[in-house]
Chain A
Amino acid sequence: MMMSNIVRTTTKMVSPFLVTYSIYIMLYGHLTPGGGFQAGVILAVSIILLMTAHGSKNLEEKVNETWFKMIENIMAISILIMVSIGLVFGAMFYNFLHRGTFGLPISGGMIPLFNIFVGLKVGAGFMVIYYALLRWF
């Protein structure tokens, strides 16, 4: 099912900004309010907006449910692996990367990486939930 021309044009214009905003929240999660989870939700919303406006049937060959499932799983496993690297340095979850100076985008050791993984995982997870709900229609 496709929505009207106005909605389609607007979502097309809005969704890139949403993606940018989500990437900003993801990358600055350790400095500003927000973080991986919020970024992931916004990322998922930007795709869901496009899908509801253009009809999920028309986007079938461009976005696929299995990808999201794979992304979610791979991200969860990468988080576990990254967290386990800390074992070499002393403890699980040990922040083994260089901490950097406070306030710079690249600082805080593995926290930005953590935010990125969580963001992608949550975004993919929300997409999977959306697909599950879509099956009822």
Chain B
Amino acid sequence: MMSHAPVFVVITPILGALLMGLLNPFVKKELYRDLIALVSLMTPLVLMLYIYRTDTNVVYEMGGWPRPYGLVLVVDGLSALMVLMAGIVTVTTFLYSLEEKRLLPSGNRYNFLFLFMAAGLYGVFMAGDIVNRYVFFELTIISTYVLLTYKGTKESLRASYNFLIIGSTASFFFLAGIGLLYFNTGFLDFGALRGTVPYIDQGTRNIIFSFFIIAIGMKMGLIPFHTWFSDAHVNAPTPMTAILAALTIKTGLYIMIKLFSIGFDTLPIRWILVFLGAITALTGVVMTLKYTDLKRILAWFTMSQMGMIVVSIALWSPLGIAGGVMHLVNHSFFIGLLFLSCGTLAYVHGTRDIRELPLLRSNILLSVGFLIGTLAILGIPPLNGYYSGSMILQASSRYPAVYIVLILTYLLTAVSFFRIFALSSGISDLSSPPESMLIPLVVLAGLCVFLGALSPLWMRNAVFPAVRAIQPGAVFEGSYPYLNIHGLVLVVTSMSGAFIGYFFAPFISGLKLEWADGLLSRVPVTDAIRYMIIVMALVLVLFTIL
């Protein structure tokens, strides 16, 4: 019976959601509904842990139909890692939302949509063919559109509407790309595509990828496709922001990795993604220097970190992929921690403005949680951002321009974070938020410390198998010690950035960055879609020139 475990990872949240819909008129007590939801969110995590312990190369054939024609669920090193990450983050954020849900005006459909979103996430990570991946992604994102509007304010409706229009356009392009892929190869299964895509001629392959680039760019929030990004994050309820930043945008990255692995890893394609990623990394962090809304600052940080991961993976060396995948997992834990502690701070103090938030003089768990998240994002040694950050730097050290951009990103990240600490003031309030809000913070902070301390260990035992699932013959030379020269560069950069940020905070806040705001974040939907199509055309032109 346990050989059927992969399918239950996807099915259980759906079953839970449907039970919720069926029992809604009869079960009036909120506690029972939350229990059903919690159980159906915990089950996939437990099942995946079981699968991961026994065998990490499972192909589950639906209905007994074999691989290139049937639908399959694949559990390899990478997807197992992703599902485990998704499981931990969904369970913790759901625990968090037990309290936050009571503040929302229409909370009774929240569990239903949340479960469908979780099922979609697991599906994206495990589906073995590209159409199912698309379908599961739509399942996730349609639930997300609704969940983003749960505050019921005008801004949240507008943000969700922008996201809806841009997301639907991107999905349309993705579907067109899938159609072209099928037309040229005759397969949709990733295993079969891996063998056939390299034989498509270069021009056609580039055209197909220029369709995909809109879809994955929009999902990841790369620069010309990012206009929905900060508004959607800011106006969503806190748990949804955490899910969006920690998991939903990672699905775009995962699809990018898969596309690269089936044969879209030729040179012009990769350099375009490195270029877009580097711009995103730098611009995202520059934008954080001007805001005072903590949640908006964190949203732009998410974008910049995603840019870094994209750069690292698009370099497509085994080390680059390993660093990128590891940073992806680490990022989802520390950004989840940061967003959840930001939400809890706002819950306790009633504001998100950093000038009125006593960040380090709140409840001890809250302050320490926020500090751990900050130090993890800056890459300070005992925490998890350090090792993966140093791996990314090491992978990019062969390309000086990329290296400088990444160092600058880290410097500005530190500047921006310590500007927040310097500006934060307000009346110290040590009152404790409810336990259901603190437990997720403790779990995620514990994971940050734990995974950070054991970095080389789980790098070798979990991340390297994940890379070998993408690049079957990947070889890792060298021992990758915990304390290495790139790590030292990273720590020195972050420290100096921290000093600059702390002592020049008023000067930095006085910088005039309004032009960047007009160009980057307050873009109407029609213009955003026009940007997307223009960029696609530019990419096509670039491909023909190169």
Listed in ascending order, the chain A residues whose CB lies under 8 Å from chain B are 66, 69-70, 72-74, 76-77, 80, 84, 86-87, 90-95
Contacts and interface: CB of A to CB of B under 8 A. Distances in A.
A77 B11 CA distance: 11
A73 B63 contact: no
A76 B18 contact: yes
A55 to B, nearest CB: 26
A35 to B, nearest CB: 17
Interface stretch (B19-27, B216-224, B434-442, B453-461): B19-27
Contact of B62 (A72, A77, A92): A92
A82 B441 CA distance: 40
A73 B14 contact: no
A77 B19 contact: yes
Contact of B63 (A70, A74, A92): A92
Given A74-B22, A92-B4, A92-B11, 7 more contacts: A73-B21, A76-B18, A77-B22, A80-B14, A91-B64, A92-B62, A92-B63
Contacts, number: 40
Interface in B41-97: 60-64, 71
B15 interface: yes
A80 B13 CA distance: 12
Interface in B500-534: none
Interface magnitude class on chain B:
10 to 19
A128 to B, nearest CB: 11
Interface string B18-41: 110110010000000000000000
B407 interface: no
Contacts of B164: none
Contacts of B15: 77, 80
A105 B62 CA distance: 25
A120 to B, nearest CB: 15
A95 B18 contact: no
B63 A95 contact: yes
Contacts of A74: 22
Contact of A91 (B1, B21, B63): B63
A60 B170 CA distance: 41
B7 interface: yes
A93 B21 contact: no
Contacts of A93: 62-63, 71
Contact of A69 (B1, B4, B21, B60): B21
Contacts of A77: 15, 18-19, 22
A80 B18 contact: yes
| Most B C-beta atoms less than 10 A away, residue of A66, A70, A73, A94 | A73
A91 B61 contact: yes
A87 B71 CA distance: 15
B25 A66 contact: yes
A39 B1 CA distance: 36
Contacts of B60: 91-92
A86 B11 CA distance: 14
